[in-house]
């Protein structure tokens, strides 16, 4: 048995499996927008991204974690390695990869971009984050910006000349964007003067490009309170003035000492302290939040990917460690004169590894699925196909964001646990990934908000259309699994679980429809947990089907397929049985925390 | 509503409730050894410890977390605050509090000592750890040491003049103590020469007392391999030589950069590099590990307390934050012109708080119960009473160690989550407690080892005696709850759950008895989880009974009792229903990770 000695970050075989066996990513090339692509072009990108991730990015992770950005005389200085890393991502074409050729992109499916990006995230989450944020900002400008904004800002973001941020959060308005106070006043030249404070702005300043463009939510003078009074503005750190670029009065007011993602600063920014902060309206006035939310699926898929990648890096590290660390003996060996075994021989260590595998590869399945649906939703052959994909995508997004973040944190903790006392030290990497992971349950909408989004909006959308489309997807997977000879019990159990969730959703929807909104949403967190168990079981059934088909084809690689079937078994025997109690809980009207008053604690 | 503005660390009202309402701690004073005590003497100690914890220890926590010990020229320099903190704990009499008057103690019940210590742990875990470790070392010397060892070392540990450590772990022998290699050779003067390496020695050096005594596991020359070849030695950093104290050749070989417990160093120690490391045999040769394990219940109870305390501090911090942080509006308020509400008004935030409360106060219940059983096991009126308490204590110990460590970590993560983006920064404290908590699933036996201990040894002990004694305890609580008018369904459900666990245990025991040891232990982790859900439900039923009795008495404090009943409801409706699926899983023979081979991952 020959084992890899360095962390692969993600399992290449699994990525290929998810792209070409669980589903057929080359089908995407039948969509006109992706017609120039093929498995070969996908592989070219994947191979070069993997290489960059493993050879260049991964070795920079610990140094960047150890030496976080500093704020000196009003400017943020990030780790000098970023000067080398950022251009290399841009050079691979990752910034605009999924965008149209007209804006310098490659019209690559998001499905392929997602798995490629996951390698870079696993290698160095913060370094990739600068790119991810810039891409989000550029995409907003592409979708809603005037030609001048696209020329001036978007093109420089896609080309990697500058970076971008999303500036939503304010000290008094974290999850509650209705309370954004940053103001915008019209100026005679058609631009706006911006004033206010933002906080937690990731990448809000850095010293490896000349400029940073902040896509900023602000409230124009006279606009109403609440979210419908918000507009979106492009606010650069340096603005054009004739031939020159001058300081645009965006001041770094403070640097937050984050516990992870230490390679990228999180900042408090003050706009317009001198009254000289210029912003340019992006899209329509009063549509700021709506526009932002049109990008929200992609942003949340990216967080889900961050989470899968972070859990994956730790899982592979734990796997390597367990194969190399001698400790103790199998239960059947009582003779201490015998040599110690590797800890992977202990069933409980294998349990912890298999649980991590089930979370990581089940989570990756969810993210590939969501990316696939995003591709079809935007570029599908027919409006019917696109509409259906949009329903499924909308529904899956809160699950694909939250499951990897919440269970990924558990997986990351298991990687620490497998390393024992060493795992508790910063001489080893798992503790760093554990710190990184915790942010994913908080940013881009907390897990609590995802639960409300799923139950309050997504599963109820279109009078049940979304849930119906999702159920059809699950149904086809069950059919495929039956044909492939997967254990019929798993097929039945998934079908039954789906039926229970659909019935429960109907009941909760009926409660909501009769005005009992609080009753409907009472167990939104449990409902999200429930839906995640179900959705991941669906992904594991799809993987089990593909693995069974692979085994039936015979030939090489039986070990990989056997591992897939055992991980699926783990999920079906250990996690899927939680559906019953969770459905009962959501249905029960259990009201302890609703009745709990502040003075009772 | 007037709210406390500073973190109370533990809820005093709850501590009194657990001591005097859930059970009657004054009953312990009927045991001859505790006869000099009374509720008044208990309160004296509790009050002064609370004050010390809140006023002196808590303000030192962040400074000590931020400036961990450093290794300079072979000596460890800890935070200078320790020079003040250590003597204050000693002055309160906490070092020898539970020990007999003959050795300078106060013969205080462990039950009271445990809750008092929990305040100091919650205030500054590391600062307390020096004391806890010294107490363990001194207790070993008291139990097994010669009069000379007791005079020379034990008395100085109890008096606070020196500190002590437990030196078991070696680089190649973490969980596998059978593989300890540190050697001992007899010297003509009756002492021994020690040579070898230890790792992860907490408090293995410091600069606030003159000496450190390492209670060290080593293998005498010619002793057999495995654990029965191990003896226990007292090995001081400085040893007596005539009138002088000289360096004893214990060198600090390295300092591990832990991610938490930063106030106390974790060290690699080399013994006898110059061949001049003297040790003194403690107790009988070949009984080193057995002797250590006689202290194991107390050591593991201490870890459980560390975990409860760490989760408690974070819970109270989150509670304060949720009462002070405005964000968003109740679901029923759509008007953004209305002021924001405090986040405790959001049901999902209350859910997270109530879950923390259920874990923290349920966990504290377990630890008070275990401490109580330890008191009775040692000092009970009759051998029968003592024996019965020993069974219950042995059985509870792995649960009382692991539940607060594992679920406490989840509770700590919820405290971070409630703080949102701020929780992810080191400007706020929850992240520090989250880091601290992770060690508790690793040290003093990992969670995996606790599961094997519970299922492989404890529930099977005495041919079922231990489980029978435990079941009787649960039975009396159910009776009390019925009398107190607690929801009869809870009583039934707990009874049924207990019955299922007892039946399952019988089946697994039968498998073990017929040689299917692997089959018996296959789900030891799930079994521990299952047993924890049950044991904590037992504690919540006891608390519900006491709360109902309190409400029936009328008068002040209804809010407190209402909160207790709602937390009990939460546990019975949300957690206890997990018993069914967990029993099914343990019974199922689900074998995914047993069949999973290294090359399948």
In a domain, B402, yes or no: yes
Structure confidence at residue A336 (pLDDT):
87
Residues B385 and B522 in one domain: no
List phi, psi (to 5°) of A202.
Answer: -70, 130
In this structure, what CATH number is given to the domain that contains residue A35? Answer: 1.10.540.10
Percent of chain A with pLDDT over 70: 99
Tokens of A179: 């309370």
Kindly tell me if the per-residue pLDDT of A103 is higher than 90. yes
Residues B106 and B57 in one domain: yes
Residue A374's closest CA among A404, A395, A405, A403?
A395
Residues A53 and A105 in one domain: yes
What confidence category does residue B1 fall into, taking pLDDT thresholds of 50, 70 and 90?
very low
Q: What is the pLDDT of residues A566-584, one digit of tens each?
A: 999 999 999 999 999 999 9
Chain A residues within an 8 Å CB radius of B421: 169, 174, 199-200, 256, 266, 442-443
Closest Cα in chain A to B443 = A421
B110 touches chain A (CB under 8 A): no
In a domain, B6, yes or no: no
What's the CA gap between A212 and A469, in Å, rounded?
Answer: 41
Kindly tell me if the per-residue pLDDT of A347 is higher than 60. yes
Kindly tell me if the per-residue pLDDT of A331 is higher than 90. no
Q: Tell me the CA distances in angstroms from B110 to B21, B83, B100, B394, one per residue in order.
A: 18, 26, 12, 15
A556 touches chain B (CB under 8 A): no
What average pLDDT does this structure show over B416-432? 97
Query: Which domain-ending residue is among B224, B252, B286?
Result: B286
Structure confidence at residue B86 (pLDDT):
97
Grouping H, G, I as helix, E, B as strand and the rest as coil, residue A117 is: helix
B331 touches chain A (CB under 8 A): yes
Query: Which domain-ending residue is among B109, B132, B158?
Result: B158
Neighbours of B33 (CB within 10 A): 18
Structure confidence at residue A294 (pLDDT):
86
Q: Which of residues 8-47 of A touch B (CB under 8 A)?
A: none
Which residues touch A456 (CB under 8 Å, ≥6 apart)? A512, A517, A520, A521, A524
Which residues touch A382 (CB under 8 Å, ≥6 apart)? none
In a domain, A5, yes or no: no
Chain-chain contact of B592 with A416 (C-beta, under 8 angstroms): no
Give catalytic residue positions of B.
444
In this structure, what CATH number is given to the domain that contains residue B358? Answer: 1.20.140.10
Q: Which domain holds residue A190?
A: 163-286
What's the CA gap between B319 and B360, in Å, rounded?
Answer: 13
As a whole number of angstroms, the longest Cα–Cα distance in chain A is: 87
List phi, psi (to 5°) of A164.
Answer: -130, 165
Query: Are the C-beta atoms of residues B136 and B168 closer than 8 Å to each other?
Result: no
Q: Which of B425, B451, B563 is facing A256, going by the closest CB pair?
A: B425
What confidence category does residue A3 fall into, taking pLDDT thresholds of 50, 70 and 90?
very low
Q: What is the pLDDT of residues B179-192, one digit of tens each?
A: 999 999 999 999 99
Structure confidence at residue B3 (pLDDT):
46
In a domain, B85, yes or no: yes
Q: What is the 3-state secondary structure (H, E, C) of B143-166?
A: HHCCHHHHHHHHHHHHCCCCEEEE
Chain-chain contact of A348 with B199 (C-beta, under 8 angstroms): no
In a domain, B597, yes or no: no
* From A444, A493, A500, A529, the catalytic residue: A444
Kindly tell me if the per-residue pLDDT of B118 is higher than 60. yes
Residues A461 and A389 in one domain: no
Structure confidence at residue A353 (pLDDT):
98
Chain A residues within an 8 Å CB radius of B348: 448, 451-452, 524-525
Q: Which of A327, A562, A585 is facing B175, going by the closest CB pair?
A: A327
To the nearest whole angstrom, how far is the Cα of A355 from the nearest Cα of chain B? 9
The DSSP string of B515-539 is T-HHHHHTTHHHHHHHHHHHHHHHH
Residue A214: CA count within 13 A, CB half-sphere: 35
Chain B residues within an 8 Å CB radius of A421: 169, 174, 199-200, 256, 266, 442-443
In a domain, B2, yes or no: no
In a domain, A1, yes or no: no
What average pLDDT does this structure show over B124-129? 98
**Residue with the larger pLDDT of the pair A118 and B175:** A118
Residues B152 and B190 in one domain: no
Which residues touch A392 (CB under 8 Å, ≥6 apart)? A373, A466, A469, A470, A473
What average pLDDT does this structure show over A212-222? 97
Residue B191's closest CA among B106, B248, B143, B144?
B248
Active site residue A142: no
Kindly tell me if the per-residue pLDDT of A123 is higher than 90. yes
Residues B465 and B342 in one domain: no
Closest Cα in chain B to A520 = B331
Q: Work out whether strand A250-256 and strand A183-186 pair parallel, antiparallel, or are unpaired.
A: unpaired
What average pLDDT does this structure show over A408-413? 98
Kindly tell me if the per-residue pLDDT of A1 is higher than 50. no
Query: Are the C-beta atoms of residues B437 and B419 closer than 8 Å to each other?
Result: no
Residues A136 and A151 in one domain: yes
Mean pLDDT taken over chain A:
96
A537 touches chain B (CB under 8 A): no
Structure confidence at residue A443 (pLDDT):
95
Alpha-carbon Rg of chain B, whole angstroms? 24
In this structure, what CATH number is given to the domain that contains residue B242? Answer: 2.40.110.20
Kindly tell me if the per-residue pLDDT of A5 is higher than 80. no
What's A573's DSSP letter? I
Structure confidence at residue A195 (pLDDT):
98
Residues A392 and A502 in one domain: no
Q: Which residues pair with B219 in a beta bridge?
A: B183
Residues A464 and A527 in one domain: yes
Q: What is the pLDDT of residues B3-41, one digit of tens each?
A: 457 999 999 999 999 999 999 999 999 999 999 999 999
Tokens of A251: 């001041």
The torsion defined by the Cα of B105, B110, B114 and B116, in degrees rounded to 10, comes to -50
**Total number of domains constituting chain A:** 4
Q: What is the pLDDT of residues B268-299, one digit of tens each?
A: 999 999 999 999 999 999 999 999 988 888 99
What's the CA gap between B526 and B508, in Å, rounded?
Answer: 13
In a domain, A414, yes or no: yes
**Exposure b/e, A63-102, CB count within 10 A at least 16 = b:** ebbeebbeeeeeebbbbebbeebbebbbebbbbbbbbeee
Mean pLDDT taken over chain B:
96
Residues A412 and A518 in one domain: no
What confidence category does residue B337 fall into, taking pLDDT thresholds of 50, 70 and 90?
confident
Structure confidence at residue B172 (pLDDT):
87
Element (H, E) at A125: helix A125-144
CA angle A404, A405, A406 (to 5 degrees): 95
**Residue with the larger pLDDT of the pair B357 and A337:** B357
Residues A16 and A100 in one domain: yes
Chain-chain contact of B581 with A585 (C-beta, under 8 angstroms): no
Kindly tell me if the per-residue pLDDT of A4 is higher than 70. no
Q: Which of residues 187-216 of B touch A (CB under 8 A)?
A: 199-200
What confidence category does residue A337 fall into, taking pLDDT thresholds of 50, 70 and 90?
confident
Percent of chain B with pLDDT over 70: 99
Query: Are the C-beta atoms of residues B7 and B122 closer than 8 Å to each other?
Result: no
Structure confidence at residue A176 (pLDDT):
86
Q: What is the pLDDT of residues B346-395, one digit of tens each?
A: 999 999 999 999 999 999 999 999 999 999 999 999 999 999 999 999 99
Residue with tokens 């896509």: A215
What average pLDDT does this structure show over B221-226? 94
Reported ipTM exceeds the 0.90 cut: yes
Q: What is the pLDDT of residues A478-524, one digit of tens each?
A: 999 999 999 999 999 999 999 999 999 999 999 999 999 999 999 99
Residues B482 and B431 in one domain: no
Query: Which domain-ending residue is among A408, A443, A478?
Result: A443
């Amino acid at each position: 048995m020959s084992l890899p000695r360095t962390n692969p970050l993600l399992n290449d075989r699994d990525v290929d499996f998810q792209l070409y066996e669980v589903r057929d990513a080359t089908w995407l090339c039948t969509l006109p927008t992706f017609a120039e692509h093929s498995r070969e072009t996908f592989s070219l990108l994947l191979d070069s991204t993997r290489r960059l991730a493993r050879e260049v990015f991964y070795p920079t992770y610990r140094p960047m974690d150890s030496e976080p950005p500093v704020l000196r005389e009003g400017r943020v200085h990030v780790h000098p390695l970023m000067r080398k890393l950022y251009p290399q991502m841009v050079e691979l074409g990752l910034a605009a990869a999924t965008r149209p050729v007209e804006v310098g992109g490659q019209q690559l499916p998001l499905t392929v971009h997602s798995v490629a990006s996951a390698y870079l995230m696993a290698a160095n989450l913060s370094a990739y984050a600068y790119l991810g944020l810039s891409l989000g900002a550029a995409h907003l400008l592409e979708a809603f910006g005037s030609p001048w904004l696209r020329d001036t800002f978007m093109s420089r973001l896609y080309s990697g000349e500058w970076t971008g941020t999303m500036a939503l959060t304010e000290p008094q308005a974290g999850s509650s964007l209705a309370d954004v106070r940053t103001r915008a006043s019209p100026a005679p030249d058609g631009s706006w003067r911006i004033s206010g404070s933002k906080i937690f702005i990731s990448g809000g300043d850095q010293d490896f490009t000349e400029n940073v463009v902040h896509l900023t939510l602000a409230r124009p003078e006279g606009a109403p309170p609440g979210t419908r009074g918000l507009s979106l503005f492009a606010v650069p750190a340096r603005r054009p003035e004739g031939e020159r670029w001058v300081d645009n009065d965006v001041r770094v007011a403070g640097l937050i000492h984050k516990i992870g993602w230490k390679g990228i600063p999180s900042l408090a920014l003050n706009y317009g302290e001198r009254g000289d902060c210029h912003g340019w309206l992006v899209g329509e006035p009063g549509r700021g939040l709506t526009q932002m939310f049109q990008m929200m699926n992609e942003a949340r898929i990216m967080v889900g990917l961050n989470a899968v990648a972070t859990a994956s890096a730790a899982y592979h590290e734990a796997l390597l460690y367990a194969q190399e660390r001698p400790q103790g003996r199998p239960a059947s060996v009582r003779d201490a004169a015998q040599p110690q075994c590797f800890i992977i021989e202990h069933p409980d260590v294998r349990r912890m590894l298999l649980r991590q595998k089930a979370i990581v590869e089940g989570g990756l399945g969810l993210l590939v699925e969501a990316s696939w649906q995003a591709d079809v939703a935007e570029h599908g052959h027919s409006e019917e196909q696109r509409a259906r994909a949009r329903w499924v995508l909308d529904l899956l997004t809160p699950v694909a964001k939250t499951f990897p973040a919440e269970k990924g944190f558990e997986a990351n903790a298991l990687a620490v646990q497998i390393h024992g006392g060493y795992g508790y030290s910063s001489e080893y990497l798992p503790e760093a990934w554990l710190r990184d992971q915790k942010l994913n349950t908080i940013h881009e909408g907390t897990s609590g908000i995802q639960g409300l989004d799923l139950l309050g909006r997504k599963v109820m959308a279109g009078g049940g259309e979304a849930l119906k489309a999702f159920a059809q997807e699950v149904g086809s997977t069950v059919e495929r699994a039956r044909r492939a000879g997967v254990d019929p019990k798993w097929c039945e159990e998934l079908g039954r679980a789906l039926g229970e969730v659909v019935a429960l959703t109907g009941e909760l929807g009926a409660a909501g429809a009769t005005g009992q909104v609080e009753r409907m949403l009472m167990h939104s967190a449990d409902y999200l947990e429930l839906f995640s168990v179900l959705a991941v079981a669906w992904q594991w059934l799809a993987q089990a089907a593909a693995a069974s088909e692979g085994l039936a084809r015979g030939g090489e690689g039986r070990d990989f397929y056997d591992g897939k079937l055992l991980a699926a078994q783990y999920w079906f025997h250990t996690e899927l049985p939680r559906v019953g109690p969770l459905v009962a809980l959501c249905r029960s009207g259990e009201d302890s925390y609703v009745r709990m008053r502040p003075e009772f604690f």
